[in-house]
Amino acid sequence: MASTFFPEESKNCNAFLRHKKFIFSPEVLKANNIQYETVIQNPGEFIIR
Protein backbone atom coordinates (compact mmCIF):
# COMPACT_ATOMS: atom_id res chain seq x y z
CA MET A 1 0.00 0.00 0.00
CA ALA A 2 2.75 2.48 0.91
CA SER A 3 4.47 2.09 -2.45
CA THR A 4 1.31 3.30 -4.22
CA PHE A 5 1.44 6.55 -2.23
CA PHE A 6 5.20 7.01 -2.62
CA PRO A 7 6.18 5.25 -5.87
CA GLU A 8 9.46 7.14 -6.42
CA GLU A 9 10.76 6.39 -2.93
CA SER A 10 9.67 2.78 -3.33
CA LYS A 11 11.71 2.47 -6.54
CA ASN A 12 14.81 3.91 -4.88
CA CYS A 13 14.69 1.78 -1.73
CA ASN A 14 12.64 -1.34 -1.05
CA ALA A 15 12.71 -0.55 2.70
CA PHE A 16 11.87 3.15 2.33
CA LEU A 17 9.44 3.15 5.27
CA ARG A 18 12.34 2.47 7.61
CA HIS A 19 13.61 5.98 6.87
CA LYS A 20 10.71 7.18 9.07
CA LYS A 21 9.86 10.23 7.00
CA PHE A 22 6.36 9.16 5.96
CA ILE A 23 3.13 9.48 7.93
CA PHE A 24 -0.25 7.96 7.08
CA SER A 25 -3.44 9.49 8.42
CA PRO A 26 -5.93 7.33 10.33
CA GLU A 27 -8.34 7.72 7.40
CA VAL A 28 -5.84 6.15 5.00
CA LEU A 29 -5.18 3.30 7.43
CA LYS A 30 -8.93 2.69 7.88
CA ALA A 31 -9.54 2.78 4.12
CA ASN A 32 -6.91 0.05 3.70
CA ASN A 33 -8.17 -2.07 6.63
CA ILE A 34 -4.98 -1.54 8.63
CA GLN A 35 -5.46 -1.77 12.39
CA TYR A 36 -3.86 0.87 14.58
CA GLU A 37 -4.02 2.26 18.10
CA THR A 38 -3.97 5.85 19.27
CA VAL A 39 -1.72 6.58 22.23
CA ILE A 40 -0.96 9.87 23.95
CA GLN A 41 2.56 10.25 25.32
CA ASN A 42 3.13 13.18 27.64
CA PRO A 43 6.54 14.69 28.49
CA GLY A 44 8.47 12.46 30.87
CA GLU A 45 6.38 9.39 30.07
CA PHE A 46 7.36 6.34 28.06
CA ILE A 47 5.29 3.67 26.35
CA ILE A 48 5.76 -0.06 26.66
CA ARG A 49 3.78 -2.26 24.29
Q: 40 lies in a domain?
A: yes
Q: 13 lies in a domain?
A: no
For the whole model, what pTM was predicted? 0.57
Q: 31 lies in a domain?
A: yes
| pLDDT given at position 49 | 82
Query: Given its phi and psi angles, is residue 33 left (phi above 0), alpha (psi -120 to 50 degrees) or beta?
Result: left
Domain that holds residue 40: 24-49
Q: 2 lies in a domain?
A: no
Mean per-residue pLDDT, 2-29: 81
Q: 18 lies in a domain?
A: no
Mean per-residue pLDDT, 29-38: 93
| pLDDT given at position 31 | 93
How many structural domains comprise the chain? Answer: 1
| pLDDT given at position 4 | 80
